[in-house]
Amino acid sequence: MPIVQISRIQHRRGKRTDLPQLAAGELGWVIDEQRLFIGNGTVSDGAPAVGNTEIVTAGSSAFSSALTHVYKGYLGDSTPITTGTSGDVTRTLQQVLDDHVSVKAFDAKGDDSTNDTAAIQRALDELYSDTDQDDTRARRILFFPAGIYRINSSLTIPPYAHLVGEGPDKTIIRNSGNNPVAVTEDDDGQVYGSIGNSGATTPTQIQISNITFRNTVAYGGVSIDNATKVYFNNCKFQGSYASGGADNSNSKAVTVRSTTALPCSQIIFNQCQFTKFARLVDLSYDVTNVRFNDCDFNTAYYGAMLGETMDGSTNGLTIGPRDIQFSGNSWSTIGQQAIYVKQSSSTTGTGTRNVISSGNWYASTVGNNFEGIGSVNEVPIIQYDNDECSSVMDFFERSDLRRSDGSSHMNPAPELQGIGVQDKAIKSQTLADNTSSATTINEYPALAGKGLRIKYKIVRGTLDRTGELVVSASTNGVSYDDTFTESGTDIGVELTAVLDDKDSTSGSETVALKYTTTSTGSDATLDYQTTIIA
């Protein structure tokens, strides 16, 4: 006979205020709070205490205290450690989880669909801008799990913000509004034009790492406003600019805005990527101590435009950018100058200065107007139109490729133009024995009107020479002076410099360094380092 019904097993149930002492193992269901308890039993039976124990459910209000955590160390129970002065420190699960905070705790989705603007801003404001921001315990790291976080207006980043993602092209903040992806604000939520009013803390000690800032329209990446001590590590700034497009001063990956009273300073970018903006860096406002280290710059009209709108009188534009350094970076697919210190005639000598390019790689796709090697529209790769700027040990692929290309007959544009010093890396070359016809060692493009100093050492058998060849060039010709000291007898090498006119145009000529040797039966080795005063 089939079983059609089993009598229900009934346990105690009722309101929380009516919960009695349950017998050992007896269950009691609190209907009004949806919580479950079990009786402990008696102490004589082995229970640690008389009473009821709550069983954790979705309705438990004591979840954080019901589960506790003791730090065990990386070896766990196999090698016990003591975490307190007289025993272990026990913390609730809630306390442990609150050591870390995710933007998803504020309802950001990162699903490339939801508008996360309000959720992300709420997280930033609650952690760094609200009334408790003066308590350093509120300034936690805000974690952005991998995903695409869509926004439609600029995020405002407060003082002490510390944002961490899971890496470029993994954690992406994607803006579709006609504004930068992010700007800085003070701790009262005031943005540029009002930052610092009423004694508010200005943007400072901001750290951002492992995040992509992407703008899908022709606007900026990040605007650093009235800020000091801002650090970006392993971030990517990506715009919508396409190679070959026109300039657009609104499309800039990174910029700063200052006031005379609150200038920007100490802005550092390490191992960052800048791509697909008309201008990858655009600095005109007063700012000092900006560093770009081991970064990649590609696909832009200009690489770094410095000082374009600085005028010497407008609030925040009185002295312009100073102490700007680019070190160990790579540059490619940039139509115009990679670094352009641009000054009007009225501000020359008073604005942007102390711009240093050191140990950078400038690919052959820089400064060719997107037209390749030999373009008649070539421009200098670096252009310094103000004082105290230099290029130190940079490599310019365009010049090297042109020298090795026998089909090229154009006078190339210079590597560096304007007011500046260019220290090139040391090179070594063999000078063949018994070379009576002057043979080219190296070419220096568009050197007319510039000075050239070549420090060198020549070794030939047991003989050596140390010297300096100083060259002065103009469109009319070249003069030079070779001062040296030899060990022993004449080494039998002569260095000369001539104007090498590669086409029929006047100006922007190329200077060629040449040599001849006598016949001694031995080749010579030339090691030389060049300094150009632009």
Query: Cβ distance 279 to 301 under 8 Å?
Result: yes
The predicted pLDDT at position 489 comes to 87
Query: Cβ distance 511 to 500 under 8 Å?
Result: yes
List the chain domain ranges: 1-63, 98-423, 427-533
The answer, yes or no, to whether residue 377 has pLDDT greater than 60, is: yes
Do 98-423 and 427-533 share a fold?
A: no
At the topology level, CATH places domain 98-423 in: Pectate Lyase C-like (2.160.20)
Average of per-residue pLDDT across 116-129: 95
pLDDT, tens digit (0-9, with 9 covering 90-100), for 398-425:
877 665 444 455 567 888 888 888 999 8
Percent of the chain with pLDDT over 90: 65
pLDDT, tens digit (0-9, with 9 covering 90-100), for 58-94:
766 655 556 778 888 877 777 778 888 888 898 888 8
The lowest-confidence range among 273-277, 286-290, 361-365, 371-375 is: 371-375
Amino acid letter for position 384: Y
The predicted pLDDT at position 79 comes to 79
DSSP string, 299-364: EESEEEEESSS--SSSTT-SS-EEEEEEES-EEEEESS-SEEE---TTTTTTSSEEEEEES-EE-T
pTM listed for this prediction: 0.84
Take residue 502 and report the two structure tokens written for it: 């590669």
The answer, yes or no, to whether residue 437 has pLDDT greater than 90, is: yes
Average of per-residue pLDDT across 37-52: 89
Architecture of domain 427-533: Sandwich (2.60)
The predicted pLDDT at position 194 comes to 97
Rounded Cα distance, 61 and 55, in Å: 11
The predicted pLDDT at position 405 comes to 43
Average of per-residue pLDDT across 15-42: 90
Query: Cβ distance 22 to 38 under 8 Å?
Result: yes
The answer, yes or no, to whether residue 344 has pLDDT greater than 90, is: no
In order of 67, 341, 387, the CA distances from 312 in angstroms are 63, 15, 16
The predicted pLDDT at position 4 comes to 59
